[in-house]
Homo-oligomer: A and B are copies of this chain.
Amino acid sequence: MTSIRDVAREAGVAISTVSKVLNHYPNVSPETRNRVEEAVRKLQFVPNAAAATLSSKMPARICLVINSAPSSRLNDEISMQYLSGAINCARKLGMDVTIAFSYSMEERSVEASIQYLRTQNVGGLVVCTLDKTQSRLIELIESGEFCTVVIDAPFLAQRTSNISIDNETAQYEVAGRMLEENHCSRVLYLSGDDNGYVSAARLGGMKRLARDKKLSLMVRNGHFSERRAQEITRRYGAQYDAVVCASDMMALGAMRELIRMDIFRPVCGFDGLKLMGYAGKQMYTVKQSFDAIAAESIREVQRLMAGESGKKIVMPYKIVRMTYDDVID
């Protein structure tokens, strides 16, 4: 294997000079820089990342914690976007990303996870999907052992940042838009589970809208479950003008049931899954840019690793209408 030493010899300079060129240090004359770069090309030199991290002692790795329980397969679309956003961004920044699944972190003790991450030279965590049942992961975050960015959950500390869209306002807006267009005033709201960190904010947005627009509002807990959404809609759907859902999956269930009942009620969801195209009718939803969120998370965790302190980041979103034709290929 060709090393930095060979490059140095080829270019007729010292090893350290090569290193400086490679790492874009300022104090190198253009001339030597050229010589070195040419030698690099000629020898097809490739720096060894392991040696670099070992030498610099800088843990350049970030662990992306994602969720993919068998039960959530249909949400994989979201996870993949987190993944690609994070990986592409990290690669640009020269950081290395390793993947962990949140369910597997729940299977091990916190100490075991910490040990594993340390072994892997992980210095920062990006937690993509978190609910209140994931006690070990939460403990890991709160331990402050690693710089951490948590998506969609309100953790904040010296070395912990959080990032999300403004769920409250988004829910307010998407519901408001749909209700207005359809002249509805009696609303059935399917909220998310209490274990979900975003549920409260979304519910809050809906309640605020109800106050502002003097809506009659009934709230039922759909637990982010398509099946529950169906059941609730079957029972109460006919009595309301519209169904507002705190997630796309629930919106799908609600719409499916309404079609089965052969009554029309506008429905809106939340997240912008492609799957929404299969609802059968067009639907409003809140489209998040998960890859942008993940990219920003990577930047943020890098900031934290550089010693900066944790903060709260709010990302933009869009209200969109999705139909089958927007979605299929």
Contacts and interface: CB of A to CB of B under 8 A. Distances in A.
A226 B71 CA distance: 25
Interface in A76-126: 76-77, 79-81, 83-84, 87-88, 96-101, 104, 115, 118-121
B84 A68 contact: yes
A275 interface: yes
A120 B96 contact: yes
B77 A115 contact: no
Interface stretch (A48-56, A292-300, A307-315): A48-56
A174 to B, nearest CB: 21
Contact of A77 (B74, B104, B230, B278): B74
A328 B256 CA distance: 12
A275 B74 contact: yes
A47 interface: yes
A47 B119 contact: yes
Instruction: Tell me how many chains of this kind the complex includes.
Output: 2
A219 interface: no
A161 interface: no
B115 A44 contact: yes
A102 to B, nearest CB: 11
Contacts of A262: none
Contacts of A227: 328-329
B329 A71 contact: yes
Contacts of A57: 1
Contacts of A278: 275, 278
Contacts of A54: 48, 50-51, 54
A48 B119 contact: yes
A274 interface: yes
Contacts of A48: 54, 119, 121
A214 interface: no
A28 interface: no
Nearest 9 Cβ contacts at the A-B interface: A76-B80, A46-B118, A226-B328, A50-B54, A73-B274, A50-B50, A76-B76, A278-B278, A50-B53
